[in-house]
Structure formats: structure tokens, C-alpha cells
Amino acid sequence: MSTVQVELPIELLELSATGEGPDQAARHIMALELFREGRATLGKAAELAGLSVEQFMDFSSRREVPLNYGLEDLEADRVVAKTLGL
């Protein structure tokens, strides 16, 4: 996976303090926003966040983000799971 280095004011991560390092916190928040906007499926957002689907579901529910999980999402997640050999 390619990476990008981004400079952000530390206050952004301090205000969203989750007890994890800044890289991981930013990764979780960005994946959550992609999911919230409907630009990533639940499975893809979890993968981008570096979490299991269950962990990502917990993370999103603690931030009151609805799952909005339908049949298209299920099929997309099946493709991701097959690709990952799960």
C-alpha cells in the first residue's frame, strides 16, 4: 500500500483523542468519514482503518455513524473477503 505524509495541526488529533497514536487516529477518522459519505463500504473502510469489520462497527457506533448496510455492501464485502483470502 502506498502512503502519503500529511502535516496537520496537533490540535486536530488532540480533540479527537482516542488513546492511539496520531497516525492511527487520522487513519480511523478518515476511513470513518469515507464510510459516512458512502464512498467506502463497511469492509473497505475497516480495511483502510486497519481494523476488523467488528472493530470498525464498534468505532463507528461510538461516533453515532449508522451502518446503512445493504445488499450491495454485502456483495462488495464478499469480494474484499475473497480477495484477502478470508
What is the structure's pLDDT at 56? 94
pLDDT exceeds 70 at position 13: no
Tell me which of 2-11, 32-41, 59-68, 76-85 is least confident.
Answer: 2-11
Cα separations (Å) of 18 from 7, 15, 31, 41?
A: 19, 9, 15, 23
Tell me which of 5-9, 48-52, 82-86 is least confident.
Answer: 5-9
Does 50 fall in a domain? yes
- For range 10-32, the mean pLDDT: 76
Does 63 fall in a domain? yes
Does 53 fall in a domain? yes
Does 58 fall in a domain? yes
Does 7 fall in a domain? no
What is the structure's pLDDT at 77? 84
What is the structure's pLDDT at 18? 60
Count of other CB atoms within 10 angstroms of residue 57: 17
Does 4 fall in a domain? no
Q: If we measure between CA atoms, which residue out of 23, 48, 66 comes closest to residue 10? A: 23
Name the domain count of the chain: 1
Residue range of the domain that includes 46: 17-83
Does 3 fall in a domain? no
Which tens digit of pLDDT belongs to each residue from 27-73? Answer: 899 999 999 999 998 899 999 999 999 999 999 999 899 887 778 87
